[in-house]
Structure 1
Amino acid sequence: MRIVATSLLLLMALVFIGALQLEAQHPAWGYVVAFSEAALVGGLADWFAVTALFRHPLGLPIPHTAIIPNNKDRIATTMAGFLRSNFLIPKVMARRMRNMNVAAAAGRFLIREHEGDAVGESAMRLGLSSLFADVMESLDNDKLGGIVKSALRQQLTTLQIAPLLGQILKASIADGRHRPLIDSFILWGARTLEANEHLIRDMVHEKANTIMRWTGLDDRLANGVVDGLYKLLTEVADDPEHPLREKVEEGLATLADDLINDPKMHQRVADIKAEVISNPAMGRWIDGLWERGRTALLTAARDPDRSLSGQFSQSLEQVGDALMQEGELQIQVNRFARRTLVGVATRYGDQIVRLISETVRGWDTRTLTARVEGAVGRDLQFIRINGTLVGGLVGLTIHGILQLAKSF
């Protein structure tokens, strides 16, 4: 676009020079001279204005040029203050997110990414992805990682796991999705029994008295126990209405109800969760989760089309469809997103603002200029093109008015 804008400016210069040579031959050339002259002035003025944002025009230290590089620190402070006062206030975030359907928006995004965009939208997505990757890499990994991991630990600490597990178990029982789990458990029991028959026989043999051993009754008893267990497992596996299955389902239903409503069960689950979170292994897992997540984000940002291909893309489409169609799921996801973001703003708002400000301040002027110009430069070149054409039309209009005035 810079080449197009500059070429148009040079074309106007050539037309102006040529029209000046022919102006005396016919009055119509006066209109061409007026158009090209005004277009040349308008194009040069807008070239100067656009260039002055990012650098000194022609390398000359003209006052009030190279605006962005010379005001880098002020831009960082203003950007950080704008985010803090307009986005990272808990009440503001809660109010703005109350009417936002984050789940549906995420679903539409995932489905659109799977189906593919138009060429222009794809190019814009690639540019934004590259800018996002640059920003991610420039941020202090230790500071940003500390914020993310602290937020994750805090969310895990405050999250009520017991009701969530109860709702999942209850929904699974209602849909019959627990039955394959029971079948797998029965199969596991049969394999375990087969692998440990000798332990049962040894146990019966040790508990039997001398007379039973002498008469061989211990072996017959052991065979009876083993055969009885095999028969029970076979009957339970073959009969979907077996009483033992009903007992298991009753137990699962009771467990689901306790997880949802029983305060004592809530406390037991919370105690287990606290022990898991305080375990050093959990800390290492969270550290690894952050590193893998950051690497995955950077990989996806650098090559979004490749990362959203194949089976992974199909999985994302299914997730997106569920987020758009399931009303109950949308409510849960939106509530979680709202609480999470408000919590992050409350606890880490100042740290996030400080991180952004320090990051922008740490950029060298060339990096800042390249990133800002790369993000909006195409539109700035359109300003030059429009300035050239609009200037020409204004010049043409003024020349026409003057000629009309002379005729009177």
Structure 2
Amino acid sequence: MKYGNKAFANLFLLIAFFLFIGTFLINISSIWIYILQRASEAALIGGIADWFAVTALFKHPFNLRIPHTNIIENNKERLINTVSNMVNDTWLGKNFLGAEINKIDFYGIIIKIIEKDKYNKKIRFYSRKYLIKFLKYVKTDKFNKFVNGKIGEALDENLSERIVNGITLFVKGGDFDKTYGILAGYIKNYAAKYETKDITKKIIELSSLEIMNSIKISGKRLINDNFDNAIINLCDFANITIDKNESSLKKQIREVIEKYKDDSVIKKIFIFVARETNVLDVELLSNEIIAKIKNFINEIRNDPLNDIRLNIKDYALSILDNLDEEVKHQVLNNIETIIHKNSDNLRDYLLSYLDKASGKRFIKNRLLSFIKSDGNNIMSQFNEPIKNGLMTAGLNTVKAIIENNKSYILNKNLFKEKFDYGISLIRDEISEKSGEINSFFRRNTVYAMKLNHSIIGKLVKRYLESLDHKKLVGQIESKIGNDLQYIRINGALVGSIVGILIALIGLFLKSVR
């Protein structure tokens, strides 16, 4: 606040006071004295009233706790909230700031910075300074650990999966067709020169495990799919065979009984007595035995859960799981013989199949299926060697690039030349995309402003809350105190003018009366 205005307001009030007192002390009957008396009286009243109003904003007048005085301190919290909200929502609202940001020429600012020589020199100086430090840092183990660490972090994120995905994309892409053509040509040239007998033997040697597994799987599938029909047919065959050979079976039963009788004298006597007393009827016994056998067979035939039927199936499956080496060897030899006999035809067919679209499509689909099912498992076995190899190659590449370009840093003139060339490229690039640059910076600045706009009000509020009453009043007085003193001066002036008018009106009314 300008203290001169306050002193002038106090002086004006003091003059009004002395004039008011003086007009009462001077015992002169004069119209002018009367008018001066009324003017000074009104000026004194107006000045004191405005002084009270202005003072009541900041403190209690005469230190008397009169209601509705010391307004700023009593309403500090509401004042702070009002000011912070006004600044945040009105004075510096989102729409206003957004409009102002969109007027900023970011492109022009960047160009001015680039084109100013003093900025260029500083940027060039510090760029070269820190690049030279970087060259020294490159030679340390710390740099090696840093680069390897960064490469390792990048490679640790599903390396196997990314390699498999890359191979999958390659196989699905157009480049695979070219690679396939090269591989197919190589295979055809190789197959044309190679002895079919050797190829057959190689196939059997390399694929023996897969062949036997395929035989086991196919055999089990065949048993599972056809066992019920096979067991039914077998049981039907057994029943038919029994019916056709019933007389022969009865004969065998009689022979068994006779053999049993001839084993000892006691058995002979027992059989004789049984026959003579009709306890043992050989014909009836034979029919009963044959009927029991057929019932037993029919139970196996008709009940899928029959224990013997299930045991037969389990036994058949177990044979495939427990093939001895001799059987395996015999099977593989037979397959080798079959392949060898048909090797020429098979080779011609495979070579022609490679040239067909269907062949390429089949191989491509099989390869994709293999990659999908086993790719990650296979690649995970090579994770560490691949990772270590890539880390070494990456570090060596980085160092080679730095080594090849360090002369441009160490040589001051070369560095200036390359730096100026780079700045020129940047300037040209910026010039071509001035609209895009302005749009980019404006859009992102407005976005950042809107995202953090509430901070404005919070900062204002936090600052005002940090001020005690004395500092807050002092800052308000320093900003608006000068205008408030003019209110006091204007109050006294207006009061004196009103006093003169009242005096004139009073004199006029007296003269009329």
TM range, smaller chain: 0.3 to 0.5
TM-score by length of 1: 0.43
TM-score by length of 2: 0.35
